[in-house]
Chain A
Amino acid sequence: MSKHLVRRHSYVARVGHWLTVFSFFVVTLSGLAFFFPSLRWLTAIFGTPQLAQLLHPIFGIIMILGLCILFVKNVAHAILDKDDVPWFTNVIEILKGREHEVVEVGQYNAGQKMLFWTIIGLGAVLIVTGIIAWQPYFAPLFPVSVVRLCLVLHSLSAIALMLGIIVHAYMAFWYKGTIRGMIRGTVTRKWAALHHPRWLREIEKGEDAHSSRLSS
């Protein structure tokens, strides 16, 4: 491992992430067009609105597959524990950009963990409600009242997810150096030391053990 860089995301995790991102954009654009008819023009990227309707659930499933990968890869690190308590108590300071001063974050901070569970939760709701409301294949199998509830829940969760993703993307944008981690898989040690010092220490501990093993 390089002197400046540490590996943060495996290849599989990155593929999972970008697969999710891509399909999220596709379903979001079509979904938004279904939700806000004034945005009907968004469906033009699929060719026709009918194609958008056809592809929306399919990309939805792809997005859920991506999410599954992310879930498997990250679930172990996403459990909230007592080390996360200070993060909550200092959330204002964190928003002011002084996270590194007030908490010592591990692999993920509490906000990321919460976002993780939110996305997973909303994803689960979306896939279940989406399948139930999927015309003309599954919806006719359910009572109209169930389908109706599912459609409303689906749009509620979708909006919530979009808002969550906006926050997520903004955070990535705000913490410079984050995005390259998801593209190239590595982050700078500086970045890690700043945002995830506890995690960096653990990594470095591992590296030391590794190199001492090598040297011995």
Chain B
Amino acid sequence: MSLQTQDYLARSGTNALTPPPRARDAQLKVAKLIDVSICIGCKACQVACAEWNDLREEVGFNVGKYENPLNLSSETWTVMRFNEIEENGKLQWLIRKDGCMHCSDPGCLKACPSPGAIVKHANGIVDFISENCIGCGYCVTGCPFDVPRISSHDKRAYKCTLCVDRVSVGQEPACVKTCPTSAIRFGTKEDMKHVAEERIAELQSRGFANAGLYDPEGVGGTHVMYVLHHADRPELYNGLPKDPKINPLIGFWKGIFKPLAAVGFAVTFAAAALHYLAVGPIDPEEHDEEEKS
């Protein structure tokens, strides 16, 4: 298993002083665009994802809602989330496909302590290299979208790979291909932004004045974007964060704290050494002799 390729833009657990080889970054960035305004919540993407990736979630229960499986898990990499809102007498059933957003500045990668367990490809895909995953769950805490899940069977982290195995041979992700209403599109990020513009204009012409693109700046933009009819209130879509950012604690932990700790060790060791050199050992035997003398 190769741990490095020239196509990684970033690689977890890798020192900024010794970055991965990444000369080949003049590449088209890919993106998945999810247009929630034409999503019918059919779950084809869920099934296609499970089918292609050979995942089988346990058959669960109905708990009084349409969601099933109820949440993301190591065997469920995408779920439809349903929300009913009623405003001004008009009912809306907001349905959002949830899963990895493939952030440009991935919090999971930042939090991951295992070298090469999380990589960001030059095309924007953030992928977990399970071989290197140690199952610590730091990625879970790094993700602003609550996406990665640790398997209780093999204790490794899992999430959507954007069907990196399909994309790598020139196909689209399974969920994109299967989407009955073309609510999921795939292409270069530029193209997807353009498609989104057209969709937003169309939605605005239908009275959704706040229609917009969800490509949050706080994580450097994402390679999974949403067209929302209420882009001003993303939280309506079952808690899509309005302004997602990597939590500052993660920034501190994986940022300044590390050199501080290193300095702490250095200082402590140095202090001890210097102290020893200055004061020397205190040996009761010598002391005795000193006193005697």
Q: Do chains A and B touch in the complex (CB under 8 A)?
A: yes
**A residues touching B (Cβ–Cβ < 8 Å)?**
33-38, 40, 49-50, 52-54, 95-97, 100, 133, 135-137, 139-140, 144-145, 147-149, 151-152, 155-156, 159, 162-163, 166-167, 170, 173-177, 188, 190-191, 193-195
Seed contacts A37-B15, A40-B115; 17 additional CB < 8 Å A-B pairs: A37-B13, A50-B135, A52-B134, A53-B134, A95-B275, A95-B279, A136-B135, A136-B155, A139-B140, A148-B141, A152-B253, A155-B257, A159-B261, A170-B276, A177-B285, A190-B287, A195-B284
Tell me whether B282 is interfacial, beta carbon within 8 Å. yes
Are A35 and B282 in touch, CB under 8 angstroms? no
Residues of A within 8 A of B140 (CB): 135, 139, 144, 147
Which of A49, A54, A96 has the most CB atoms of chain B within a 10 A radius of its CB?
A49
Residues of B within 8 A of A177 (CB): 283-285
Query: Within the assembled complex, what's the spacing in Å between the Cα atoms of A175 and B61?
Result: 66
Tell me, in angstroms, the Cα distance from A147 to B283 when the chains sit together: 47
Q: Does B265 contact A (CB under 8 A)?
A: yes
Chain A, residue nearest B137 (CB): A135
**Which residue in chain B gives the minimum CB-CB distance to A40?**
B115
Asked if A49 meets B114 with Cβ closer than 8 Å, knowing A35-B258, A95-B275, the reply is yes
Q: Which residue of B lies closest to A166 (CB)?
A: B268
Closest 7 pairs (CB-CB, A-B): A37-B13, A135-B137, A148-B141, A176-B283, A190-B284, A53-B134, A136-B150
- B158-209 contacts to A, CB under 8 A, are none
Interface of A is mostly: helix
Bound Cα distance A176, B280 (Å)? 10
Q: List, in ascending order, chain B residues with CB within 8 A of A194's CB.
A: 282, 284, 287
Q: In the assembly, what is the distance between CA of A140 and CA of B12, in Å? A: 23
**A35 pairs with B288, CB closer than 8 A:** no
1/0 contact trace for B229-257 toward A, CB 8 Å? 00000000000000000010110110001
Contact of B282 among A36, A97, A133, A137 (CB under 8 A): A97
List A contacts of B252 (CB < 8 A). 152
Any A CB within 8 A of the CB of B220: no
The interface residues of chain B lying within 8 Å CB-to-CB of A95 are 275, 279
Neighbouring A residues of B136 by C-beta, 8 Å:
34, 53, 135
Whether A175 pairs with B258 at a CB distance below 8 angstroms is no
Q: Which residues of B contact A36 (CB under 8 A)?
A: 258, 262
In the bound assembly, the distance between CA atoms of A200 and B269 in angstroms comes to 32
Q: Which residues of B contact A151 (CB under 8 A)?
A: 138, 141, 253
Instruction: Count contacts between A and B, CB distance < 8 Å.
Output: 131
* Bound-complex Cα distance A149 to B136 (A): 15
The answer on a CB contact under 8 Å between B15 and A38 is yes
Identify 18 residue pairs between A and B in the complex whose beta-carbon atoms are under 8 Å apart, listed by A's number.
A33-B113, A34-B113, A34-B134, A37-B113, A40-B115, A49-B114, A50-B133, A149-B249, A152-B257, A159-B264, A167-B268, A167-B272, A174-B275, A176-B285, A177-B284, A190-B284, A190-B287, A194-B284
CB neighbours (8 Å) of A54 from chain B are 135, 155
- A148 and B137 contact, CB distance less than 8 A: no
Contact of A40 among B13, B247, B262 (CB under 8 A): B13
The 8 Å CB contact of A163, one of B141, B265, B282, is B265
* List of A residues within 8 angstroms of B264 by Cβ: 159, 163
In the assembled complex, which residues on chain B have CB atoms less than 8 Å from the CB atom of A136? 135, 137, 150-152, 155
With contact pairs A133-B137, A170-B272, A190-B284 given, residues A37 and B253 touching in the complex (Cβ less than 8 Å): no
Give the interface size bracket for B toward A.
35 or more
Contacting B288 at CB < 8 Å: which of A155, A159, A167, A190?
Answer: A190
With A50-B155, A136-B135 known to touch, is A144 a contact of B284 (CB < 8 Å)? no
Chain B nearest CB: distance from A163 CB in Å? 5
Check: B146 CB closer than 8 A to any chain A CB.
yes
Most buried by A among B115, B134, B136: B134
Q: Which residue of A lies closest to B112 (CB)?
A: A37
Cβ proximity bits B210-226 to A, threshold 8 Å, 1 near / 0 not: 00000000000000000
Residues of chain A within 8 A (CB-CB) of B257 are 152, 155-156
Known: A38-B15, A166-B268. A97 touches B250 (CB 8 A): no
Given A174-B281, A176-B282, A194-B284, also A140-B150 (CB < 8 A): yes
Interface centre among A50, A177, A195 (most CB of B within 10 A): A50
- CB of B115 within 8 A of CB of A37, answer yes
Q: List the A side residues contacting B279 at CB < 8 Å.
A: 95-97, 174
- Closest B residue, CB atoms, query A167: B268
User: Nearest-CB distance from B139 to chain A (Å)?
Assistant: 10
Known: A36-B258, A52-B134, A151-B138. A190 touches B15 (CB 8 A): no
